[in-house]
Structures are given as structure tokens and as C-alpha cells.
Amino acid sequence: MSILAKILIITISSLIGLFLIFFISNGIIFTRLSFSRRKGDKDFAKNEDPRAKKDPDRIWYFSNEIEEINLKSYDKLNLKGYFLNNHSNKLVIMVHGYHGRYYSLTSQAHIFFDNGFDVLSINNRCHDSSEGKLITMGKRESRDLEDWIELMIKRNPNYQIALYGISMGGHIVMLTGSKPNVNEKVKCIIEDCAFNSLKNELILMVKQSPAPFPRLTVNLAELYSIIFHHFSYSNSIDKAFKTLKLPILLIHGSQDNYVPTENIYLNEKAVPKDVYHETHVFEGSGHTKSVVDSRKKYTKIVNDFVNKFIK
């Protein structure tokens, strides 16, 4: 073998080695930063902003008798939900956002409870009291939500169910409610500030960080995730809504910089023409802040919508 050939082989081998090191390092770091349980998550309540604990809706929520419900997921995780019994045949299942928890939605829970609903607020896998090592931002969580639906129907076969989700939770309820086999007891979907495409949202998150080459970073991280964690970043409302049949309420703030407002228009565009939907953009509101900034308007929009489909 000539010296030139040896140099070429060594060079190519070195480049392959460097790529593999970069590929694996990028995958590990991206997974840890984006999809892992945050350090101190279970102690969040002890360390959160004290002002949050004084919120009137939070005080109202914890003044009620709250039943903890356990669900064993399809992959053997113990998931937790928290139930407010309003002695009703109307149920809302509430799904929090990225690194949230069941009591992140006490304002919305109050709205539904006052409208006569039983309220189940779940902890997504890998959040708060629910088990799990990996957040999949919709892929596995939407299957968990299907199981929550079935569990609650077993408790009360007369339930009519609304699915409510915010941010990542909004993405989850849209994925779940669009499935062709979703239980007929689910009557409508409400999403607030949800992203349209997981991959595009991840690219945006990287763009907002110091990391270079956002699209390459995410594409390589996705390949790593497929190989080592068996899930892709292919969650897309454009695909999911091809089988959407349930009426849906779409909400977003006009000043959302975390999940840009354009996402609501992408989601709206994906709704089939024969499916009832409403789109409401709250002027001046940031991410998840529409209910805070315009409580009266938000309450009327949500109640008017759900009352059309759940009596």
C-alpha cells in the first residue's frame, strides 16, 4: 500500500471518528437539555416564586379535596393525576406544558369547575410526581392521555370529555384528539399556545441558544434519539389533523416569543374544512399569559365553546 493511500485511510478514519464523537456528544447533550427531567423537579414546589403560591386560583385549587389517581402506562411507568370531583357527568382532562406540573393550570381548572365540570389535572411522564426519564413532547404522552381517557370512562361511563392543553400540553391534546380511534366520549379539544411541529419548535429553541447550526444540530439529535431512545421528532399537527373530526378551540397570545404566534395559523390551516373550529388571538399576551391578561374574555370564549358540545 502506498504512503498516499495510508494517509488517505488515516484521514478518512479520523474524520469518521471525529464525526461519531460529535454525533454522540451532540445527541447526549441535546437529550439531557431538552428531554430529561430537570434537576430538582420533585422539589420544585419548595423553591418556586413565593408569589405563585399566593395566586387566588392556586389557593382555591388546594382548598378543595383532591384525589390522587394512579395510572400504569403502557411501558410500566407510574403516572399521577389529581382529580376534583364536582359530581358531574362533564369532565375536562387538563394537560400542562413543558416542565410544568398538574397545578400549573389552576386558573383554567377554576374556569371549568365553575362551569360544572369534574377536573382531572395530570402530571405528564417525567414531570413532578409521575415517573419517567424522558420527555417526548407528544409522541408517548399522547398515548398516555388515551389511557387516562379510558381510565376515567371506566370510573364514570356517562362522562362527556373535553381535552384542554397548554403549550406542549396543547400539542399533546391535539395529537390525541386527532386519532381515528379516540373514544367517542371525547367531545372537543381546547389548545392554548401549542406548537405546530416539534422539530420546528426544537430548531427555534436552538436558535435562541448560543449553539451553532440549529437545523443540523436538531437533525443529528433526532437521528441519535431514533437510534438510542426509539422516538423521532416527527410530531406534526399537519399530519395529525388529517384524521381530525372533533371540534377544536385554538388560542394564542400575539406576543408569544417562545411558541411564536404563527403556530396558531399553521394549526388553523391544518384543520379539515368540515371540522368546526374557532381561532382566538389575545392581543399583547405572551406565552401562556392569555388567561392571566384577559380572564373574563378567556372564560367566556372557553365556556361558550365547550357548552356547544358538552351539556
Q: Assess whether pLDDT exceeds 70 at residue 58.
A: yes
Residue range 106-123: mean pLDDT, rounded: 98
H-assigned helices in the chain: 3-34, 44-47, 50-53, 56-63, 106-114, 141-155, 168-177, 198-207, 214-229, 237-240, 262-270, 290-293, 295-309
Q: Could you read off the pLDDT of 220-235 as tens digits, one per residue?
A: 999 999 999 999 998 8
Residue range 46-57: mean pLDDT, rounded: 75
Nearest to 252 by CA among 138, 164, 137, 167: 167
Q: Assess whether pLDDT exceeds 90 at residue 304.
A: yes
Q: Assess whether pLDDT exceeds 90 at residue 40.
A: no
User: pTM, whole model, 2 decimals?
Assistant: 0.92
Quick one: pLDDT band at residue 213, thresholds 50, 70, 90?
Answer: confident
Q: What is the model's pLDDT at position 46?
A: 60
Residue range 241-263: mean pLDDT, rounded: 97
Task: Give the Cα separation of 141 and 130 in Å (integer).
Answer: 12
The CATH architecture to which 41-197+235-309 belongs is 3-Layer(aba) Sandwich (3.40)
Q: Assess whether pLDDT exceeds 70 at residue 57.
A: yes
Task: Give the Cα separation of 239 and 192 in Å (integer).
Answer: 19
The proportion of the chain whose per-residue pLDDT surpasses 90, expressed as a percent, equals 77
Q: Could you read off the pLDDT of 190-208 as tens digits, one per residue?
A: 999 999 999 999 999 999 8
Length of the chain: 311
Q: Assess whether pLDDT exceeds 70 at residue 48.
A: no
Q: Where, residue-wise, is CATH 3.40.50.1820 in the chain?
A: 41-197+235-309
Q: Assess whether pLDDT exceeds 90 at residue 86.
A: yes
Q: What is the model's pLDDT at position 24?
A: 79
